[in-house]
Protein backbone atom coordinates (compact mmCIF):
# COMPACT_ATOMS: atom_id res chain seq x y z
CA UNK A 1 0.00 0.00 0.00
CA UNK A 2 1.25 3.47 -0.88
CA UNK A 3 1.33 5.95 2.04
CA UNK A 4 2.07 8.99 -0.11
CA UNK A 5 -0.70 11.61 -0.13
CA UNK A 6 -2.88 11.76 -3.22
CA UNK A 7 -2.20 14.55 -5.67
CA UNK A 8 -4.67 17.39 -5.81
CA UNK A 9 -7.08 17.05 -8.78
CA UNK A 10 -6.30 19.68 -11.40
CA UNK A 11 -7.71 20.72 -14.77
CA UNK A 12 -6.16 19.77 -18.08
CA UNK A 13 -3.09 21.82 -18.97
CA UNK A 14 -3.69 25.05 -20.87
CA UNK A 15 -1.25 23.85 -23.51
CA UNK A 16 -3.40 20.82 -24.38
CA UNK A 17 -5.30 22.61 -27.15
CA UNK A 18 -2.14 24.10 -28.63
CA UNK A 19 -0.47 20.69 -28.42
CA UNK A 20 -3.31 19.02 -30.29
CA UNK A 21 -3.26 21.68 -33.04
CA UNK A 22 0.51 21.41 -33.41
CA UNK A 23 0.26 17.60 -33.52
CA UNK A 24 -2.30 17.84 -36.32
CA UNK A 25 -0.03 20.22 -38.23
CA UNK A 26 2.87 17.80 -37.78
CA UNK A 27 0.72 14.93 -39.06
CA UNK A 28 -0.18 17.01 -42.13
CA UNK A 29 3.49 17.72 -42.72
CA UNK A 30 4.22 13.98 -42.42
CA UNK A 31 1.50 13.17 -44.96
CA UNK A 32 3.03 15.73 -47.36
CA UNK A 33 6.45 14.13 -46.80
CA UNK A 34 5.14 10.64 -47.54
CA UNK A 35 3.39 11.94 -50.67
CA UNK A 36 6.64 13.62 -51.79
CA UNK A 37 8.64 10.42 -51.20
CA UNK A 38 6.03 8.36 -53.08
CA UNK A 39 6.04 10.78 -56.03
CA UNK A 40 9.86 10.91 -56.12
CA UNK A 41 10.11 7.10 -56.06
CA UNK A 42 7.57 6.82 -58.89
CA UNK A 43 5.05 4.87 -56.81
CA UNK A 44 2.30 7.37 -57.69
CA UNK A 45 1.66 9.25 -60.92
CA UNK A 46 1.03 12.64 -59.28
CA UNK A 47 3.55 15.44 -58.90
CA UNK A 48 4.85 16.17 -55.43
CA UNK A 49 2.93 18.67 -53.31
CA UNK A 50 6.18 19.94 -51.82
CA UNK A 51 7.66 20.52 -55.31
CA UNK A 52 4.56 22.56 -56.21
CA UNK A 53 4.97 24.68 -53.05
CA UNK A 54 8.69 25.15 -53.80
CA UNK A 55 7.97 26.42 -57.33
CA UNK A 56 5.41 28.89 -55.98
CA UNK A 57 7.85 30.07 -53.30
CA UNK A 58 10.60 30.78 -55.90
CA UNK A 59 8.71 33.77 -57.25
CA UNK A 60 8.30 35.35 -53.82
CA UNK A 61 10.34 38.46 -53.14
CA UNK A 62 10.73 40.19 -49.78
CA UNK A 63 7.64 42.25 -49.04
CA UNK A 64 6.34 44.39 -46.20
CA UNK A 65 3.79 41.82 -45.07
CA UNK A 66 6.57 39.32 -44.31
CA UNK A 67 7.82 41.53 -41.48
CA UNK A 68 4.38 41.48 -39.89
CA UNK A 69 4.08 37.72 -40.43
CA UNK A 70 7.43 37.25 -38.67
CA UNK A 71 6.31 39.38 -35.73
CA UNK A 72 3.04 37.42 -35.54
CA UNK A 73 4.96 34.11 -35.59
CA UNK A 74 7.22 35.35 -32.78
CA UNK A 75 4.20 36.42 -30.69
CA UNK A 76 2.53 33.05 -31.26
CA UNK A 77 5.74 31.35 -30.12
CA UNK A 78 5.86 33.46 -26.95
CA UNK A 79 2.19 32.66 -26.31
CA UNK A 80 2.88 28.93 -26.72
CA UNK A 81 5.76 29.08 -24.23
CA UNK A 82 3.65 31.02 -21.73
CA UNK A 83 0.80 28.53 -22.17
CA UNK A 84 3.14 25.60 -21.58
CA UNK A 85 4.46 27.17 -18.37
CA UNK A 86 1.04 28.11 -16.96
CA UNK A 87 0.25 25.98 -13.91
CA UNK A 88 -2.88 23.86 -14.05
CA UNK A 89 -5.74 25.20 -11.92
CA UNK A 90 -7.17 23.04 -9.15
CA UNK A 91 -10.66 21.66 -9.74
CA UNK A 92 -11.55 20.20 -6.33
CA UNK A 93 -11.46 21.27 -2.69
CA UNK A 94 -9.90 19.25 0.12
CA UNK A 95 -12.19 17.69 2.71
CA UNK A 96 -10.56 17.21 6.12
CA UNK A 97 -7.04 15.86 6.58
CA UNK A 98 -7.56 12.77 4.44
CA UNK A 99 -7.05 12.53 0.69
CA UNK A 100 -10.70 13.28 -0.03
CA UNK A 101 -11.73 15.84 -2.63
CA UNK A 102 -15.04 17.50 -3.46
CA UNK A 103 -16.15 19.45 -6.53
CA UNK A 104 -17.63 22.95 -6.16
CA UNK A 105 -20.97 21.72 -7.55
CA UNK A 106 -21.17 19.19 -4.73
CA UNK A 107 -20.82 22.03 -2.21
CA UNK A 108 -23.95 23.56 -3.73
CA UNK A 109 -25.80 20.24 -3.44
CA UNK A 110 -24.81 19.88 0.21
CA UNK A 111 -25.90 23.43 1.01
CA UNK A 112 -29.27 23.01 -0.72
CA UNK A 113 -29.81 19.66 0.98
CA UNK A 114 -29.05 21.20 4.37
CA UNK A 115 -31.60 23.96 3.73
CA UNK A 116 -34.28 21.53 2.54
CA UNK A 117 -34.04 19.51 5.75
CA UNK A 118 -35.13 22.59 7.71
CA UNK A 119 -38.86 22.67 8.36
CA UNK A 120 -39.11 26.42 7.66
CA UNK A 121 -37.84 26.03 4.07
CA UNK A 122 -40.20 24.96 1.29
CA UNK A 123 -37.63 25.01 -1.52
CA UNK A 124 -33.92 25.70 -1.88
CA UNK A 125 -31.34 25.90 -4.63
CA UNK A 126 -27.65 26.72 -4.49
CA UNK A 127 -24.77 27.68 -6.74
CA UNK A 128 -21.14 27.51 -5.81
CA UNK A 129 -17.64 28.25 -6.93
CA UNK A 130 -14.41 27.15 -5.29
CA UNK A 131 -14.60 30.14 -2.95
CA UNK A 132 -18.29 30.78 -2.27
CA UNK A 133 -21.66 29.11 -1.88
CA UNK A 134 -24.82 31.09 -2.64
CA UNK A 135 -28.08 29.62 -1.38
CA UNK A 136 -31.50 30.86 -2.41
CA UNK A 137 -34.38 29.55 -0.32
CA UNK A 138 -38.11 30.10 0.00
CA UNK A 139 -39.36 30.27 3.58
CA UNK A 140 -42.68 29.06 4.92
CA UNK A 141 -42.49 31.59 7.76
CA UNK A 142 -42.34 35.38 7.39
CA UNK A 143 -39.39 35.67 9.83
CA UNK A 144 -36.59 35.42 7.29
CA UNK A 145 -33.88 37.15 9.37
CA UNK A 146 -33.77 34.37 11.95
CA UNK A 147 -33.92 31.73 9.20
CA UNK A 148 -30.96 33.28 7.36
CA UNK A 149 -28.87 33.09 10.53
CA UNK A 150 -29.85 29.50 11.24
CA UNK A 151 -29.18 28.44 7.64
CA UNK A 152 -25.77 30.15 7.69
CA UNK A 153 -24.90 28.25 10.86
CA UNK A 154 -26.21 24.91 9.57
CA UNK A 155 -24.42 25.18 6.23
CA UNK A 156 -21.17 26.33 7.86
CA UNK A 157 -21.35 23.35 10.23
CA UNK A 158 -21.94 20.91 7.37
CA UNK A 159 -19.12 22.35 5.26
CA UNK A 160 -16.67 22.92 8.13
CA UNK A 161 -14.24 20.24 6.98
CA UNK A 162 -13.84 21.73 3.48
CA UNK A 163 -10.49 23.48 3.03
CA UNK A 164 -10.38 26.37 2.34
CA UNK A 165 -13.80 27.07 3.85
CA UNK A 166 -16.13 28.74 1.33
CA UNK A 167 -17.96 32.00 1.97
CA UNK A 168 -21.64 31.33 2.50
CA UNK A 169 -24.34 33.70 1.29
CA UNK A 170 -27.95 32.94 2.07
CA UNK A 171 -30.91 34.72 0.49
CA UNK A 172 -34.34 33.83 1.83
CA UNK A 173 -37.66 35.06 0.46
CA UNK A 174 -40.99 34.45 2.20
CA UNK A 175 -43.39 32.12 0.42
CA UNK A 176 -46.23 33.88 -1.39
CA UNK A 177 -49.64 32.74 -0.29
Neighbours of 13 (CB within 10 A): 15
Residue-wise pLDDT tens digits, 42-93: 899 888 888 888 887 777 777 788 899 999 999 999 998 998 899 988 888 8
Q: pLDDT confidence of 9, banded at 50, 70, 90?
A: confident
Burial 116-154 (b: 16+ CB within 10 A, else e): eebebbeebebbbeeeebbbbbbbeeeebeebbebbeeb
Residue-wise pLDDT tens digits, 165-174: 899 999 998 8
Q: In whole angstroms, what is the distance from residue 122 CA to residue 137 CA?
A: 8
Task: Determine the pLDDT at residue 77.
Answer: 92
Amino acid sequence: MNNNPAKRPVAAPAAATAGILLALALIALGVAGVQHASASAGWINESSWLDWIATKAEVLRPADWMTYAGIAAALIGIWLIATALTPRRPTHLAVGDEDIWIRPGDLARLAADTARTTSEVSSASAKSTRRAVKLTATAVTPDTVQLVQSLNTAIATRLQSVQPPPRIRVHVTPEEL
